[in-house]
Amino acid sequence: MPSESRLNIVARVNGAEPSESFAEASASSPIVLAIEQMSSPPRPWKLTLYPAHFTLEPASYDTPPFLVLREEVMKSAGFIEGMRALALTKPFKVTFKLPKEAAKTFADWIGKPVLAAHYLRRRYGWVLPVAVIWILGSLPFSGDPAAGVKAAAFDPIAFVLGVALVAAWACAKWRPHPALFLVDSIWFIVMAAHLGWDVVQGRSKGWLVLVALLVWMAVIGFKHFIRFRGTRLGGV
């Protein structure tokens, strides 16, 4: 089947105008990457990058390529950088493994704005319930001595941390900015220090597991800030 017809058929499936898709493909020099389908045994595929979309096709036999529009990246076509994996949910479910250099090239093609928005959305997607719980947990509690329930005093540090997290969540939702990676990293470090001090004061040492997790989250956030600082983001 001619290459133009093959692209047009898949473009119709994905809702793109056939002539425009083929014009874009012809107007630029595509980048072809060798990847593998994560199956047993692994199957070689070709990932071809164009300005507004990419295509996937098996390398071992001739078949029409599957076209994925750029707008679907990090949606129906998820890129997991740490695992160097590309996971599709449509037109079919399949996962591909990318070599190290191919993963870097694909990340560059996706672009920092899209990646930064994705990581920011993922980090702040669960923040609001945690912030509310943190604020409620900081409020004073009279307790019940008869039932053996100890009273709890107001915890101003926990309250400020909770309010700060709500403010950061609001900014991430309506005014996203790479600086928020640094903000939540500082938040995680302060919370880790707060819990660590509680452990020193006699709280269960089991809380040190959470302290280690918080420090790890802070390190990841700081790395994101270094990587994406200066990147302009749209709505997250």
Q: Is the model's pLDDT at 206 over the cut of 50?
A: yes
Per-residue pLDDT, averaged over 66-85, amounts to 94
pLDDT at 10: 40
Inter-residue contact 169 to 128 (CB < 8 Å)? yes
Measured CA to CA, the distance from residue 209 to residue 217 in angstroms comes to 13
What average pLDDT does range 185-189 have in this prediction?
94
Average pLDDT, the chain: 85
pLDDT at residue 25 tops 60 = no
Boundaries of CATH 2.30.29.30 in the chain?
3-110
- Residue 8 and residue 18 in contact, taking contact as beta carbons nearer than 8 Å: yes
Over 50: is that where the pLDDT of 18 sits? Answer: no
Q: Is the dihedral of CA 170, 74, 85, 91 positive or negative?
A: positive
Percent of the chain beyond pLDDT 70?
A: 86
Q: Is the pLDDT of residue 13 over 60?
A: no
Q: What is the mean pLDDT of residues 161-189?
A: 93
CA distances from 217 to 22, 157, 197 (A): 43, 20, 19
The verdict on domain 3-110 having CATH code 2.30.29.30 is yes
pLDDT, one tens digit per residue, over 33-55 is 999 999 999 999 999 999 999 99
* Contact in structure between 129 and 117 (CB atoms under 8 Å): no
> Measured in whole angstroms, how far is the alpha carbon of residue 99 from the centre of its chain?
20
Residue 236: predicted pLDDT: 46
pLDDT at 234: 57
Tell me the whole-structure pTM to 2 decimals. 0.78
pLDDT number for residue 22: 40
Q: Got the DSSP string for 126-173?
A: THHHHHHHHHHHHS-B--BGGGTBPPB---HHHHHHHHHHHHHHHHHH
What is the rounded average pLDDT of the residues 96-110?
A: 97
Residue 103 has pLDDT above 80, yes or no: yes
Residue with token string 């990457």: 33
